[in-house]
Structure 1
Amino acid sequence: ALMAGETAIHPTPGLGARPEFWMLGSSLFGAQLAAKLGLPYAFASHFAPDHLDSALAVYRRDFQPSEAFEKPHVMVAMNLFVSETEEEAEYLASSQLQAFVALRTGTPGKLPPPVRGYRESLPAPTQAMLAHIGQASAIGTPGQAAEAVRAFVSRTGADEVIFGGSMFDPQARCRSLRLAMEALTG
C-alpha cells in the first residue's frame, strides 16, 4: 500500500531529483494557467506563432507570484538553421519545411531529406503558410541568424530562447548550433 504523498512511479534516472516545472503552451489558456500558478511559461512559437504576443501579454499581466517564482519568466522557441551561406541554410531547413507542409496537408511522415530550392518550388499559398510559421525562425548565415534571434528576443522580451530545427543530417544540426552559438556569444 502507498502512504500519503507516495507514488508507484520511480523515475530512472532522476529518482530524488527536484525538476523545475514549466508550462508549455501555444494558446491563451496555457498562459493563463501558468500565470495563475506562478510558473515559468514556454511558448511553442517555433510551430504555432499565432497567439504568441497576446499569450505573453496575458501571462505577464496576470502573473501571481509563487514560492518558486516572484515574477514572470518567459521562454520562446525558435527554429534555427545556420550555415556558411544563406542558400545552404535554406537547404538544411527544407527537410523541416517539407514536414510542415506534409503535416498541414494531412500526409505526415518521417523527416524527408533536404531539397534545393524547395520553398521556391511551392505554390504561393503554401509559401505564405511557411512564411507565417517561420516568423519564429532564424535561417541563414551566422550573422543573419544572430540578428534574427536578437530581433525575436527584442519583440518578445523573452528571458530564455530554446532552439529547435529538424535536420536530416545530425552532424549538420550540430554544426548549425555551433555556428549560431559562436555568432550569438562572440
Structure 2
Amino acid sequence: MPINRPTKSINDIPFSVLDLASIVQGGTPSQSFQHSIELAQLTEKLGYKRYWVAEHHNMPGIASSATSVVIGHVAAHTSTIRVGSGGIMLPNHSPLVIAEQFGTLEAMFPGRIDLGLGRAPGTDQRTAHALRGANYTSGDDFPEQLEQLQAYFEGSGPVRAIPGEGANIPIWLLGSSGFSARLSAQLGMPFAFASHFSPENTLPALELYYENFQPSNDYKEPYAMVAVNIIAADTDEEAELLATSIKQSFLNMMRNTPSQLQPPVKNLDELMSPYEKAVLEKQLGSTIIGSPSNVKKKLQSFLDETKADEIMVSTMVYDHNARLYSHQLVAEIVGK
C-alpha cells in the first residue's frame, strides 16, 4: 500500500552525506580522515545540508569508532555544513558523557551540530560487552537512556552536564526496523532510516512513523530522512564496477570476515555462491548505481516510494576521486 504523503521532486528536498570513514585496502585511518575532510569540503561547496559519521567498532574497514572526535575534526575543517552522528549508539555510552561531548561540540561549532542516536551496538556482541562492561544492556532501556540524555540538555538531570546544559542540539532517532520509528513518532522527533543496509524494512518503518507521529514543540509534522547507497559515474558499466567494492564489503560481513574496503573486481559473481548473491542483492536492494540519467530516474522512484523529506547519500567507493566525483554527479542530478 503506497504511503499517503505528497509526492516530492528530488530537486526540491535537501541532500546530505553519510560517511563511514572507510579504510581502503592498504590504507590507514589517517588517510581515511583526510579523505573525509576533502569530501566534507566538497559537499559543503556543492550545497549538501549535513555530513554525518557513524559509530562502528571492531571493523577493520571503518575508522569512525571515536565518532565525536571525528565530528569535531570535520566541523573544524568546514564552515557551514551541519555535522553530526549517524549515529551515536547510545547504549554504548553514559547519557551524561554524550551530553557533555555534544555540548562541547555545539559550544565549539554553534548551530552546526546534529545528534543522531541508535540503539544497536554498531558491532558484534563480544565487542558490545567489551564496550559496556559491567553496565552491559541489550538496548531495551534505550527510551530511558534517551530521556536521561534529554534531561541533561534541559538542565533537569541528577547532575549538570557542562558543556551540554541548555544546548540546542537537534536529536534524531535512527533505525533499521520499526522500534525507533514508533518511538520517534510518539515523541515527535525527526527520524532517519538506514535503507542503505535494511531496504526491506524501509517502507514499513516509514509508514509506522508517518501514521503514528505526535506533534511536539520542535516538530509539528513528521520529518523523515532516508539513507541510501548511491554510486554514480559517467557510465552504467563504470558505476557497476565501482559498486563491487561495497558488495565485497557486505559479502565479507556475511561471511564473518570483515575487511578493509577492497578494490573493484570484474568477476564478483565468480567469488560468491548463488545463495550469497541472493542475500547480497536483498541487503543492497535499495542501492542506486549507474550513469546520471539512470541515477536520476532511480532516485526519483525511490523518493516517490518513501516520501522522504531528505535523502542521505552513502557512497562506499574504493577510489577516493571516484567517490568525490559521484557526490558531484548527484549534486548536479538534484540541481544543487
- Per the normalisation by structure 1, the TM-score is 0.89
Q: In the alignment, what sits opposite 2:256? A: 106
Q: In the alignment, what sits opposite 1:9? A: 100
Q: In the alignment, what sits opposite 2:138? A: none
1:37-52 alignment runs, 5 A limit: 37-52=187-202
Q: Quick one: which of 291, 295, 320 aligns to 1:170?
A: 320
- Tell me by how many angstroms 1:125 deviates: 1.8
- Cα distance between partner residues in 1 of 2:252 and 2:335: 35
Q: In the alignment, what sits opposite 2:274? A: 124
Q: In the alignment, what sits opposite 1:3? A: none
Q: Does residue 88 of the first structure (1) align with residue 238 of the second (2)? A: yes
- Cα distance between partner residues in 1 of 2:209 and 2:244: 33
- Cα distance between partner residues in 2 of 1:154 and 1:109: 35
Deviation per CA, 1:127-147: give whole Å up to 9, x if none: 222221222211010111111
SS in 2 for 1:109: coil
- Cα distance between partner residues in 2 of 1:28 and 1:95: 29
8 Å CA contact retained: 1:75, 1:159? yes
Q: In the alignment, what sits opposite 1:19? A: 169
Q: In the alignment, what sits opposite 1:74? A: 224
Structure 1 gaps of 5+ residues are 1-5
- AA of the residue aligned to 1:133: Q
Deviation per CA, 1:47-73: give whole Å up to 9, x if none: 112221111111111111011100111
Q: Quick one: which of 137, 142, 149 aligns to 2:292?
A: 142
Over the residues paired in the alignment, what is the CA RMSD in angstroms? 2.0
Q: In the alignment, what sits opposite 1:60? A: 210
SS in 1 for 2:318: coil
SS in 1 for 2:171: coil
Structure 1 residue ranges (4+ consecutive) displaced by more than 3 angstroms after TM superposition: 10-13, 119-122
- AA of the residue aligned to 1:32: R
- Cα distance between partner residues in 2 of 1:70 and 1:9: 28
- AA of the residue aligned to 2:173: M
Which structure has more RCO (C-alpha within 8 Å, separation ≥ 6)? Answer: 1
- Tell me by how many angstroms 1:121 deviates: 4.8
SS in 1 for 2:226: strand
SS in 1 for 2:285: helix
- Tell me by how many angstroms 1:22 deviates: 0.8
